[in-house]
Amino acid sequence: MPGSPDSVVVDGGQPGEHARSVAIIMDGNGRWAAKRGLPVAEGHRAGTKALRRTVEAAIDLGLETLVVYAFSTENWSRPEGEVDSLMDIFGETIERELPDLVRQGVRTRFIGRRDRASAVLREGMTRLEEETAGNDRLRLWVALDYGGRAELVDAARRLVEAGVAPDEIDEKVFHANLYAPELPDPDLLIRTSGELRISNFLLWQLAYAELVFTDTLWPDFGKEELEQALAAYAGRRRRFGGR
């Protein structure tokens, strides 16, 4: 098939069973830096390089959607110096990556709260979204100041504000009030760095995602690890509660 991903390892799976939408909890930047005696900011900087590699791998492997967790609503509780450097790194990364994302056909959008980021960062986020809006090769979603609980609470608030009657609320209506209803439910969630938890990521959307955990620290993640996770996914049978 022209243009189809030929390098996806579908070990044990049927053709066409590969994951189309992948979510990643990019964890382990701090430990990566500590292991090298580097400041934590250097770990976060190295993490942005891993994201660049992973976006390229996602394109090569024919993924449709990649959603990555960059900063949680709880990450504001980190030391001020780390939060400040992370915000600077987000801004720098948007500037640095924008031309390649435009050129490579990556439509980039953000999910999460916008009101707590600096005006400069918000402006960068909006510009990246606008300048890649016409792209359709890979849909990249970056969860920044994102919390799954906050998203559900905001959806509930919107429903009440819109005066929706209790008996009109069903899963479809609720889903339509999430931050980005067009974001498909991830088929596969990958978490790096050996932690075995969700940490408030996409609580609604991950309901039936397959989970893959790897000990690799995020700055060391790349195409090979992504292929391994996709191969693990391809070997699984999803049941969605059925037989």
Residue 46 sits in the site that holds Mg ion (CB under 5 A): no
Active site residue 75: yes
Using an 8 Å Cβ cutoff, are 26 and 69 in contact? yes
Residue type, position 218, single letter = W
Stretch of 20-28, 71-79, 123-131, 166-174 contacting Mg ion, by CB under 5 A: 20-28
Q: Which residue has the tokens 């970056």?
A: 142
Name beta bridge partners: 189.
Answer: 23, 211
155 CB-side CA count, 13 A? 22
CB of 75 to Mg ion, least distance (A): 9
Task: Give, as ranges, the residues between 72 and 111 that touch ligand IPE (CB under 6 A).
Answer: 72, 75, 86
Q: Name the percent of the chain in helix, strand, coil, to the closest 5.
A: 45, 15, 40
d(CA 216, CA 194) in angstroms, rounded, equals 7
Active-site residue among 75, 154, 200, 220?
75
Angle between helices 80-103 and 119-131 (to 10 degrees): 20
Of 30, 39, 62, 235, which lies in the binding site for ligand IPE, with binding defined by CB under 6 A?
30
Residue 27 sits in the site that holds Mg ion (CB under 5 A): yes
Interaction partner, residue 117 (Mg ion, ligand IPE, none; CB < 5-8 Å by kind): none
CB of 27 to Mg ion, least distance (A): 4
Measured from the CB atom, is 28 or 124 closer to ligand IPE?
28
Active-site residue among 6, 11, 27, 154?
27
Specify the pairing of strand 21-25 against strand 106-111: unpaired
> Hey, which residues are catalytic here?
27, 75
Q: Which residues bind to ligand IPE, rule: CB under 6 A?
A: 25-31, 69-72, 75, 86, 193, 195, 197, 199
